[in-house]
């Protein structure tokens, strides 16, 4: 399973949000997706998931558009917004609705709730969840169909230090199982500890697509390498 972008472009009126991205996000590694605010990261992820239509080019998952899959949750798990659930539903009922929509056995719901540490909060209404709990529920939903591809936008927002360490280990473990893990973040230090490969964009254009060690080069930190790269593109 891989994510493939072919000349992917998105414009909003006269604004060019994503500019001809050619990219392959491969399985077996955590790929970090970096860029300044407004670089086009979220728009790119939304196009992969069929939420935004490209102006030109294509976004494919394992050679097919996301919208072509009959049971998409079995192919791709995604978290773009941590609080994207009805506030009146319990965590378990939210996941049950997702499971039924993709013919996933109900028993998988309690399994993923346990995986993300929400077993005791499964019966609580989502409106009472903290941001960190919302992140965990979103990740449970992403894992629900046991997909080969995971797309996560700022997944550590709202997590306490223990939660950040937990998700770091989880993402590495999922990649080690052969999954494609594509993660955006503004937390450069955390990304340096989590990702083995990096994609960097600015103004919708690809600046780097390289292993972490290659991008670091002689720099002491990812922060130094990142700012040198993005400032040169400003």
Query: Does 223 fall in a domain?
Result: yes
**Residues 166, 67 share a domain:** yes
Query: Does 59 fall in a domain?
Result: yes
Please give the average per-residue pLDDT across 37-60, as a whole number: 96
**Residues 142, 181 share a domain:** no
Q: Strands across the sheet with 3-12, in order? A: 15-25, 3-12, 56-61
What pLDDT, in 10s, does the model give residues 73-102? 999 999 998 778 899 999 999 999 999 999
Q: Crossing angle, helix 91-101 and helix 107-115, to 10 degrees? A: 130
> Among 36-40, 42-46, 161-165, 214-218, which range has the highest average pLDDT?
42-46
Q: What is the model's pLDDT at position 219?
A: 85
Nearest CA to 166 among 135, 197, 201?
Answer: 135
What pLDDT, in 10s, does the model give residues 191-208? 999 999 999 999 999 999
> What is the total count of domains within the chain?
2
What pLDDT, in 10s, does the model give residues 62-73? 999 999 999 999
List beta partners, residue 183: 32, 152
**In whole angstroms, what is the distance from residue 35 CA to residue 33 CA?**
7
Q: What is the model's pLDDT at position 184?
A: 95
Separation in Å, CA 135 to CA 118, 155, 208, 220:
11, 6, 28, 31
Q: What is the model's pLDDT at position 234?
A: 63
Task: Tell me which of 131, 146, 161 is where a domain ends.
Answer: 146
């Amino acid at each position: 399973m891989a994510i493939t972008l072919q000349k992917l472009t998105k414009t909003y009126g006269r604004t060019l949000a994503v500019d001809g991205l050619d990219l392959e996000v491969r399985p077996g590694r955590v790929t970090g997706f970096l860029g300044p605010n407004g670089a086009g990261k979220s728009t790119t992820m939304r196009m992969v998931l069929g939420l935004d239509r490209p102006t030109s080019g294509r976004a494919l998952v394992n050679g097919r558009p996301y919208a072509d899959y009959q049971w998409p949750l079995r192919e791709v798990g995604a978290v773009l917004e941590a609080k994207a659930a009805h506030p009146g539903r319990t965590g378990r009922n939210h996941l049950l609705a997702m499971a039924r929509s993709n013919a996933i056995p109900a028993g998988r719901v309690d399994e993923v709730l346990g995986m993300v540490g929400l077993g005791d909060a499964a019966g609580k209404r989502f409106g009472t969840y903290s941001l960190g709990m919302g992140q965990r529920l979103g990740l449970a939903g992403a894992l629900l169909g046991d997909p080969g591809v995971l797309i996560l936008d700022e997944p550590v927002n709202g997590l306490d230090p223990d939660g950040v360490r937990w998700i770091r280990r989880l993402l590495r473990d999922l990649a080690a199982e052969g999954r494609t893990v594509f993660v955006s973040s503004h937390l450069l230090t955390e990304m340096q500890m989590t990702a083995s490969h990096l994609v960097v964009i600015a103004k919708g254009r690809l600046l780097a697509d390289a292993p972490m060690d290659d991008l670091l080069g002689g720099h002491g930190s990812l922060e130094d390498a990142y700012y040198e790269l993005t400032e040169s593109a400003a």
